[in-house]
Chain A
Amino acid sequence: MTAPLYAGTAREIRDRVRSGAVSAVAVAESVLGRIQAVDGAVGAYIDVWGDHALSMAAKVDRRVKNGEDPGPLAGVPVGLKDNLCTSYGTTTCASKILKGFESPYDATVVCRLRDAGAVFLGKLNMDEFAMGSSTENSSIQKTRNPWDLGRVPGGSSGGAAASVAAELATITIGSDTGGSIRQPAAFCGCLGMKPTYGRVSRYGLIAFASSLDQIGPFTKNAEDLAIAMNVVSGHDPLDATSAALPVPDYTTFLKNDLAGLTIGLPKEFYTDALGGPMRESIMRAVDVLKGLGAKVTEVSLPHTDYGIAVYYLIATAEASANLARFDGVRYGYRDPSATTVEEMYRGTKTGGFGPEVKRRIMLGTYALSSGYYDAYYLKAQKVRALIRRDFDEAFAQCDVIITPTTPTPAFKFGEKTDDPLQMYLSDIYTNSVNLAGVPGLSVPCGLIDGKLPAGMQIIGKPFSEDTLIRVAHAYEKARGFEMGKPAIK
């Protein structure tokens, strides 16, 4: 292989490390070198764990040397969104209020990845507390889209998406509450999976909206996605909402045909609001799927139009409670001038949270406050039930639903920062998937105008991640073009 080690897929790296053909340390050094060279321009990492990565890699190499099983991610360089608690380094949610916070424990996914032989490179930038769609709400830095440094990488897992696209990590782990994995994956031209609610343990994920949050991987291709999902999925006794269901071996679904599969195209997604180039790239992808033996049918998700409204009530209501704990008592920032408890709370929250976080706390608090609960929160939960019912009915007619992941490709910095509602509406195709709790996967499906990636969203029935991986893999093999790599300039 003449290509640099950092350019490999997880499967390639894993196999070569396991066979002893390359050392995990050499792989880690290669990716750390790439980060050094390129991340100044991209800004994906908040914190790079150089020494820690090398020592994790050395451990993997020792296991290989001793003939022990080094795990399914042996030596694979992995980056972590900074809302995943790690007992090494800091965990900040890109917020001033958690500056310097050193978690006393590891998130369950972090343990699983480490046990699988992954090598952690560091923590990745995000919108503060995962609230945003462009990573512009990070209190720390901008992350740039590797395909066009003048554009956003999407969000909230912007660092996680940009680093896979720019080969600053082989696999990254993000979180998705309303599109925070799929939308940046689409903007950056990589794969990003939001699993079924309950598939992956949320223990150790700093909560934004507890009933919507899921952790998922970003990868370069479907095979790596299958490998990563094998590691992160499964029941966790520390998360009462994690499903006690068996996890299939996702790598057994990497087949090259889609015979017997029915694809649903929801008519509410293919309206005039969907721009021409985006519509064309999705339709070309659908044609590829047809060529693989899939049947296509029109389905209806009648409450699609209400998804954003429902989402912003439920997500902010839950967030208003979840973020109450950041009060300056046990960890994080405390307003140093406070002399009373009241001043401590107010000074800490006012000085520690950024404007978007404050806005959402305000909205959620209002939606739950005395006299408004029924009209806002309860009403939203009822419409949420209708949205879920829409999906159940649609899935009676098809196996997967295909939509664009986003209405447009990556937008420019500052384009939507002045109008929160416009920013919220950029998640219009992804929100309802979280509301329904079903899995969704964004797969790159070409470049708009030859420049910016477009993403196709594959939505499945609950716990049908295997089917989504099957569709993604078959599509990748059959689409007849390479996405290529961003030039980063």
Chain B
Amino acid sequence: MEFETVIGLEVHVEISTRSKIFCACANNFHAPPNTNVCPVCLGMPGVLPVLNRAMVEASAAVGLALNCSIARWSKMDRKNYFYPDLAKNYQISQYDLPLCRDGYLDIEVGGAAKRIGIRRAHMEEDTARSTHTLGPGVSGVDFNRAGVPLLEIVTEPDIHSAEEAYAYLTALKQILMYLGVSDCNMEEGSLRAEPNISIRQKGSTELGVKTEVKNVASFSGVQKAIEFEVKRQAKILREGGQVQQETRGWDADRGVTLSQRLKESAHDYRYFPEPDLVPIVVDEAWERRIRESLPELPKARRERFKTVYALSEYDAGVLIADRATANYFEAAVKAGAAAKPAANWIMSELQALLIGAKQSIAACKIGPAQLAGLIGLIDSGTISGKIAKDVIAEMFTSGKDAKTIVEARGLVQISDVSEIETMVREVLAQHPGPVAEFRSGKAKAKGFLVGQVMKAMQGKGNPQVVNRILDEQLAKE
């Protein structure tokens, strides 16, 4: 039997507004437990929610970036279920009229383009967090996270492999980061992805029974969980069994999904319109204002990098992957660096230094104009590319300009012919063996001699001039 995999993804993203979705508490749940709480987010008797305008605007911005249509008229609803992390024992969410619907996101997998449909994106409130390490028989609940704004983004079942799911999540995260609406930190739960997975016989148009997987803490975890689930379901079907519709939890340590049995009544959410909140009406003018405030998105930026800076598909893709990196690149070019060397220095040396120091490009001591300065010194022949690697390392720790470092350390490249001739003669005199080898036809011996000259010049000799003069001297006699 050959199977086809069908996946839909539900992603919950915490939107980084300043205050919570329905109250003025700070949107920061890393504070000491129960310190960013008020009567509203604690679900005290008598309190009322008031919707944060910034949440509506951020959500609509995400919707527009995902090519959704924004509902002219939508509303909030109550989703009823009991759980200790849910202050009111109902979650204020959106049911039948989400703010955003019918969009898509284009991804690339193995070089092929693919369009993933976005069914809906809706606003809701996050729940509190519980801890189970306080002692035997008790759990502790911290309501700092209760009322943090969440956007739930749901795809169509258009994803057909774990790799596609990974690519979708990567592309989605890129857009969210470009919009600046979330820090998308999956380990800390500010982005949570829950795949629905089913398989069906290849060629069949009917959907198989799906399982929903929760508790996945990374994109690669999502990929692994899907791979596991597909194998598990295929085994069941091959053995003539039936897949149970259920929620399964991902156990990252064991690399398996485990059934989380819930009572039948747990899924009767009794949604109804939230009477404490009034309709959300996004008219054309408001939608236009939000659309106009959108930054350039990753796909458009990549195309522009290819045409304006003549970068390769690959280079453009690497640079735009992170908005800050792309901004850095453009600033360096603006400061006078040629595009290709700027791209190379950012993607190789600078990237390596940043990774080594676990730093973000935004916090980098080398500003884009400083990088442009370094590239200028190479261009003008003032320093060699090799010396430049030492210089950038020092720039990275000290934050000094390349020129200052080069001058202070006397690293200016020597191109003076007579100085180099003197040095070459000395080296040839000191190493008659290799000279003889070269003359007897061993071309390799020249490399050794170049190295000796450069060493004698502390690396500052202009490599082209050194090579030329060495050739001349060897040809003599």
Contact = CB atoms under 8 A, between A and B. Distances in A.
B390 to A, nearest CB: 61
Interface string B42-70: 11111111110000000000000000000
Contacts of A239: 48, 50
B43 A368 contact: no
A204 B276 contact: no
B89 A240 contact: no
A55 interface: no
B48 A327 contact: no
Interface in A71-128: 83-85, 91, 93, 98, 101, 103-105, 107
A268 B174 CA distance: 64
A286 interface: no
A369 B270 contact: yes
Interface in B253-301: 268, 270-272, 275-278
B209 interface: no
Contact of A325 (B87, B141, B270, B277): B87
Interface size class of A (residues with CB under 8 A): 35 or more
B43 A325 contact: yes
Contact of A240 (B48, B87, B271): B48
A205 B88 contact: no
Interface string B67-91: 0000000000010101010011110
A321 interface: yes
B82 A327 contact: yes
B137 interface: yes
Contacts of A369: 268, 270
B33 to A, nearest CB: 13
Nearest to A381: B273
A341 interface: yes
B272 A373 contact: yes
A210 B82 CA distance: 20
Given A105-B44, A210-B275, A327-B82, A240 B51 contact: yes
A135 interface: no
A321 B48 contact: no
B50 A330 contact: no
B407 to A, nearest CB: 62
A370 interface: yes
A60 B88 CA distance: 38
Contacts of A320: 80, 270
Contacts of B43: 325, 330
A330 B87 contact: yes
A431 to B, nearest CB: 17
A91 B45 contact: yes
Contacts of A206: 45-46
A137 B51 CA distance: 35
Contacts of B44: 85, 103-105, 330-331
Among B44, B84, B268, max chain A CB count under 10 A is at: B44
A324 to B, nearest CB: 4
Per DSSP, chain A at the interface is loop
B48 A202 contact: yes
Interface string A222-261: 0000000000000001111100000000000000000000
Nearest to B88: A325
Contacts of B51: 240
Contact of B47 (A101, A203, A317, A318): A203
A324 B82 contact: yes
Contacts of B49: 240
Contact of B39 (A104, A317, A321): A104
B144 to A, nearest CB: 14
Nearest to A236: B48
B94 to A, nearest CB: 16
A211 B89 CA distance: 19
Contacts of B46: 83-85, 91, 103, 107, 203-207
B88 to A, nearest CB: 5
Given A105-B39, A324-B82, A377 B50 contact: no
Contacts of A341: 84
Among A103, A104, A330, max chain B CB count under 10 A is at: A330
Nearest to B276: A210
Contact of B45 (A101, A365, A373): A101
Contacts of B50: 237-240
B39 A330 contact: no
Contacts of B78: 321
A23 to B, nearest CB: 33
A345 interface: yes
Interface string A193-221: 00000000011111101110000000000
Among B43, B51, B270, B271, max chain A CB count under 10 A is at: B270
Given A317-B272, A324-B90, A329-B141, A203 B48 contact: yes
A240 B277 contact: yes
Nearest to B39: A105
Contacts of B47: 105, 203-204
Contact of B80 (A105, A203, A209, A368): A368
Nearest to B81: A324
A325 B84 CA distance: 10
A318 B277 CA distance: 13
A209 B48 CA distance: 13
Given A202-B48, A237-B50, 15 more contacts: A83-B46, A205-B46, A207-B45, A210-B276, A321-B78, A321-B88, A321-B90, A324-B89, A325-B45, A325-B88, A327-B82, A327-B89, A330-B43, A331-B44, A368-B271
- Smallest CB-CB A-B distances: 7 pairs: A324-B89, A368-B270, A210-B275, A211-B275, A206-B45, A85-B46, A204-B46
24 contacts: A85-B46, A101-B45, A103-B44, A104-B39, A104-B44, A203-B48, A207-B45, A238-B48, A240-B48, A240-B277, A241-B48, A317-B272, A318-B272, A321-B270, A321-B272, A324-B89, A324-B90, A325-B43, A326-B45, A327-B82, A327-B84, A368-B80, A368-B272, A369-B270
Interface of A: 83-85, 91, 93, 98, 101, 103-105, 107, 202-207, 209-211, 237-241, 317-318, 320-321, 324-327, 329-331, 339, 341, 345, 365, 368-370, 373, 377
Interface of B: 39, 42-51, 78, 80, 82, 84, 87-90, 137, 141, 268, 270-272, 275-278
